[in-house]
């Protein structure tokens, strides 16, 4: 199993943040299927203020490149991603058209025991 953590910002607007969270209470079934079909075994999104943190557990075969190729061929995923851009914005310091940014692991307790 592989683990990844990614970050993204929402537009700092309470109404938009509420709408975004409501979409994630009833994610479209096609999106759930595309996530699972890509090799993602668990996906959890956390929010503090307008910052999102996504934690992924994936199969050993998972790759972001394959996920991107699958997404680009799926009209429903493209529709979802386009809709989500209404609420999302790039993290400061990253290109304006880039969404989720991979976080670098800097500490692991088990490595220090």
pLDDT for res 108: 96
E strand or H helix that includes residue 55: strand 51-58
Helices and strands, counts by H and E, the chain = 4, 5
Instruction: Supply the pTM of this predicted model.
Output: 0.92
pLDDT for res 61: 97
E strand or H helix that includes residue 6: strand 2-10
Alpha-carbon gap, residue 5 to 8, rounded angstroms: 11
Give CATH for domain 2-105.
3.30.70.1090
Q: What is the pLDDT of residues 67-82, one digit of tens each?
A: 999 999 999 999 999 9
Alpha-carbon gap, residue 45 to 86, rounded angstroms: 18
Average pLDDT over residues 55-69: 97
Average pLDDT over residues 51-72: 98
pLDDT for res 24: 98
Q: What is the pLDDT of residues 92-101, one digit of tens each?
A: 999 999 999 9
pLDDT band at 11 (very low <50, low <70, confident <90, very high): very high
């Amino acid at each position: 199993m592989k683990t990844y953590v990614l970050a993204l910002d929402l537009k700092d607007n309470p109404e938009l943040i509420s709408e975004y969270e409501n979409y994630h209470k009833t994610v479209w079934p096609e999106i759930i299927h595309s996530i699972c079909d890509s090799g993602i075994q668990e996906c959890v999104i956390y929010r503090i203020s307008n910052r999102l943190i996504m934690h992924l557990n994936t199969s050993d075969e998972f790759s972001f490149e394959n996920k991107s190729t699958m997404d680009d061929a799926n009209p429903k995923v493209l529709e979802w991603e386009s809709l989500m851009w209404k609420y999302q914005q790039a993290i400061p310091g990253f290109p304006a058209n880039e969404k989720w940014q991979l976080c670098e692991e800097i500490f692991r307790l088990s490595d220090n025991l």
